[in-house]
Amino acid sequence: MVKIGLQISGTLENVAKLVAPQPDFTYFMKLQCASCQEVTDSWVAVSAAEQVAGRSGRNTVNFLSVCKFCHKEKVMNVLQETNTPYLKDDEDRFKTIIAFDCRGVEPVEFDFRDGWTVVSDGGREFTDVAIEDGEWVDFDEQLKASVGLYDMKSKFVKV
């Protein structure tokens, strides 16, 4: 098993934190086969809420698939205990927000999509936030100010 961390970076406007709520958050990724290096051309959904039977029958895993080119098994688990919010202090710097246990596979691309929780500087919680083209903007009536996420980027690192 290889541990791979998802890092994100972005600019936060009147936002105190950005969280991927567990276990229901779904990570959409493109995966590269560790054997033949082929990358899936479609986005693959991986979530801690998904429990599929592993091949050994002993454990359940969060994602299981077989490479359509070399037929090797690909297994991924969301390490929920590594879930970390992205905070104001982390602004414009890459920070690991979750790690995955990976066997036979490496994630290479991440799509933010939806399901995020954002807490504004005024404490208001926005749920099921969708980040499109690296951005999300809303308005906090209590703060009487716009709240937003801008220039959101991601990358994967070995941990």
Q: Which residues bind Zn ion (CB under 5 A)?
A: 33, 35-36, 67, 69-70
Q: Which is nearer to Zn ion, 70 or 137 (by Cβ)?
A: 70
Q: Which is nearer to Zn ion, 65 or 82 (by Cβ)?
A: 65
CB of 67 to Zn ion, least distance (A): 3
Q: Which residue has the tokens 């703060």?
A: 143
| Parallel, antiparallel or unpaired: strands 63-66 and 60-61 | unpaired
CB of 81 to Zn ion, least distance (A): 30
27, 98 contact by CB (below 8 A): yes
Q: Which is nearer to Zn ion, 70 or 157 (by Cβ)?
A: 70
User: How far is residue 154's CA from residue 156's CA, in Å, rounded to a whole number?
Assistant: 7
DSSP class of 58: S
Q: Which is nearer to Zn ion, 35 or 80 (by Cβ)?
A: 35
CB of 28 to Zn ion, least distance (A): 20
DSSP class of 81: G
CA 2 to chain centre: 17
Stretch (H or E) spanning 74: strand 73-79
126, 142 contact by CB (below 8 A): no
Question: Amino acid letter at 3?
Answer: K
CB of 34 to Zn ion, least distance (A): 8
CB of 100 to Zn ion, least distance (A): 18
Q: Which is nearer to Zn ion, 17 or 74 (by Cβ)?
A: 74
